[in-house]
Structure 1
Amino acid sequence: MPGGGRPEADAGARHWTFLSNHGHVLVCLARDPEARLRDVALAVGITERAVQKIVSDLEEAGVVERVREGRRNRYRLFLDRPLRHPIEAHRTVGSLLGMVLDEPAVRRLGGPGQEPRRSVE
């Protein structure tokens, strides 16, 4: 596991992750609600246009709200929204983020041992 602590993939191996790009964008916005979409795109490894589309999808689903502050956007996440697929619909956006984020970010979201927030920005 040189470098970033991840096992190196075989040169011919197909790359995949457990979270979709929508999940990755959501995690980035939870970590930094003031993140520029350009920075989110770099972190996720997709184009800025793809991130814009994903944020629009998340807004339409009622998971994210874009709040304009001067020349920047701030993103509010609604943690009580259920996950969209029937297999995981018994879980919320907040529970997903609680599994993925580091401890300080989970505390900011109202993580384990704390009353969960309905939204975070």
Structure 2
Amino acid sequence: MKISDASRISGVSARSLRHYEDEGLIVPGRFSNGFRDYCQSTIDRVLVIRSLLESGLPVRLIRDVLPRLADGPDVGTDAVCAEFLHEVQSYRDRLAARIAVLSDQQAALDAYLREARRTALR
């Protein structure tokens, strides 16, 4: 199917499909005129990619794990190796640490604003 059909069926923009290809996440076939040709297995892979991206995983990690995932849009832990789960946990831990730092910064700014408002009202 053409890129417009693949976009409609997958719910992913044509631009994103081209980006996935540029990143080496998918490899669509080609028609004789050079246009991309998307088969159902590529669409299934796009759905997995979209799900992983929406989870916040970086493209690098997705590119590394895609060969180890089962085909299809349902990604179960039984289809994923322990190394990938470790990578996801590590990524999640780094994200949690960043959130903690941002929360501390937000609290400091809130305290500053409270004090500044109290001083301005005097």
- Shorter chain as denominator, the TM-score bin is under 0.3
Question: Of the two structures, which has the highest relative contact order with CA contacts closer than 8 Å and spacing of 6 or more?
Answer: 1
**Higher relative strand content:** 1
